[in-house]
Chain A
Amino acid sequence: MKSIKSFFKRYWGVLRRPSVHYSLGALTLGGFIAGIIFWGGFNTALEATNTEAFCISCHEMEDNVYMEIKDTIHYSNRSGVRATCPDCHVPHKWTDKIARKMQASKEVWGTIFGTINTREKFLDKRRELAEHEWARLKANDSLECRNCHDFGFMDFTRQGKRASEFHSTALANGEATCIDCHKGIAHKLPDMRGVPGW
């Protein structure tokens, strides 16, 4: 204990003392360049974990949820605009993204210890996992949906009768948010017993 204390004390001394050998310019510039490299490296690594290829590098994701999105309009459609995993599951704003990434460390734990490493385990846990996502989207007013589907630019006259009816009432006055009605649009649903509206 004492040695650790003295160790830190020594380095605290080094940090506090002005530099003897290096000029202020070299230290400032060096710090600046090192900052660019480390910050850039951090963001590059972060973005690399924010791709579909990274998500489906785990078989849990590739065999279950990725197979399911392939049939849906968010994967394949007439215009070829598609959503990848992080478009819906990771917030786009930096602070929120970091917060979500820290939460996602639980998923690393899960993949190491095989929480859902079989189809059966995945199906057993699916309701819980789905509820997490519903709660997240409910709490942030379906932010990830709205990144593409902007309410301000919705043309009700181009929507179906039922769609425009609900979008111009419940959605417009904030009574409901996207996820309240649009559950299971990109993946299969869990047992929906007891879910409001089902």
Chain B
Amino acid sequence: MKFRLLPLTLLAVFGLAIAAETNYPLDAPAPDGRRPGGTITQEFTPPKLHDEENKDIRRERNYPEQPPTIPHSIRGYHVDKNANKCLSCHSRANSARAQAPMISITHYTDRDHQTLAAVAPRRYFCTQCHVPQHDVKPLVENRFKNIDELLYRETSPSTSGN
């Protein structure tokens, strides 16, 4: 009986505390990153969507272990518990018919280094590593240099000292 008013009192106290403390900006400016300018609650027109590159030309890898990027559109491909559209061309059994590169042997190895008969579950979801590309201006500048460029710079007399 005594504490019946306690929740109400607490609510009032907290309410007052919150109401009193409005000297910080509620609508803070968002960090200038992928979404430059504006505040957190401000809505911008989203950038235009671009089509996936669909040229079917294999791209150079930046380092040997890089998962190759997908050189074609994968719109509407199912990759779930029931079906994997990628494997309908890239699996061992289907690659000859589709003339698509077979997924590498590493995809058959589980985390205990046991080679399985089919794709290991940890490698099943293709787009975790392999992604299609879009012909767009990069959001941030990329200064990545591959190993050949680095070696060339080291050994080339004209650019040494840079």
Contacts and interface: CB of A to CB of B under 8 A. Distances in A.
B20 interface: no
Main secondary structure of the interface of A (DSSP, over half): loop
Interface stretch (A87-95, A145-153, A186-194): A186-194
A197 interface: yes
A189 B88 CA distance: 13
B83 A198 contact: yes
Contact of B55 (A161, A184, A188): A161
Contacts of B81: 191
A80 interface: no
A189 B76 contact: no
A189 B82 CA distance: 7
Contacts, number: 39
Interface in B83-135: 83-85, 87-88, 94, 97-99
Interface residues of B, number: 20
Interface size range of chain A in the complex: 10 to 19
A82 interface: no
Interface in A150-198: 160-162, 165, 184-185, 188-192, 197-198
Nearest to A188: B78
B145 interface: no
Interface centre among B54, B55, B81, B99 (most CB of A within 10 A): B54
23 contacts: A72-B76, A73-B75, A73-B76, A160-B54, A160-B56, A160-B72, A162-B56, A162-B72, A162-B98, A184-B78, A184-B85, A188-B78, A188-B80, A189-B78, A189-B80, A189-B82, A189-B83, A192-B82, A192-B83, A197-B88, A197-B97, A198-B87, A198-B88
Interface of B: 54-56, 72-73, 75-76, 78, 80-85, 87-88, 94, 97-99
